[in-house]
Structures are given as structure tokens and as C-alpha cells.
Amino acid sequence: MTSISIHRIRPVMLGVTPLCALGGLLPVLALAQSFPDKPITFMVPFAAGSATDQLARAIGQAATTSTKASVVVDNKPGANSFIGAKTAAKAKPDGYTVFITTNTTQAASENLFKKLP
């Protein structure tokens, strides 16, 4: 039985690991070249000035700083957040609409209403 020395494996792994990491980044780098090329919309199902709205605006400011793309916070309050949720669900699935909500409202709705829109 032949034993393989750890000293022989280590140089091979050091050469393979960076290649695997770069291979995993290639799709991200390709996407990064064209995204974002238009404003990003943060859909908030609560009124302006709410805690969720303030969080969305803080995240939007950070996203604008890092991506140089405009971020628009679109408040759609009402109907226990159903209006905002439906608007976000009907948005084009292109990554430019982000639904920002609270887990309590979304989790409770399933138990509070017989039929969800």
C-alpha cells in the first residue's frame, strides 16, 4: 500500500482552490457588467415614515452608494400589506423590484385570513 505525503497534496490543492473560486465567480462577474442598468425599486407595503420604510431607505442609500444605481422606495400601504405584496408579486422577475416587509405581517396573515389574495 502506498502512502501519499501531505506535502505532495498541498501544492496541488493550493493550485486547484483558486481556480475553483474563480470559476464560481465567473457568472457573477458576467452579471455585474450589466446590472444594474436602470433604477431599482424597493416595494414597501407600509406608509412612509414607518420603521420598515426607514430601513428600506437606509438599505437603498447603501445600495446606491455601492452600485451607483438609483433606488426608489415605493410605499404601497393598506389592506394589511396585501396591496404592496400583490404589486411586488406582479413585478417583472428581473431583479429590479425588491419587496421589503416584516415577517410578522406576512406570517400572521396566513392565520388571520381565510383566503389570501
Q: Which domains does the chain carry?
A: 36-112 (3.40.190.150)
Q: Would you call 44 helix, strand, or coil by DSSP?
A: strand
pLDDT band at residue 107 using 50, 70 and 90 as cut-offs: confident
In this predicted structure, which of 34-38, 48-52, 72-76, 95-99 has the lowest mean pLDDT? 34-38
Q: Tell me the pTM.
A: 0.68
CB 93 within 8 A of CB 41: no
SS3 call for 68? coil
Q: Which residues of 31-67 are buried (b: 16+ CB within 10 A; e: fewer)?
A: eeeeebeeebbbbbbbeeeeebbeebbeebeebeeee
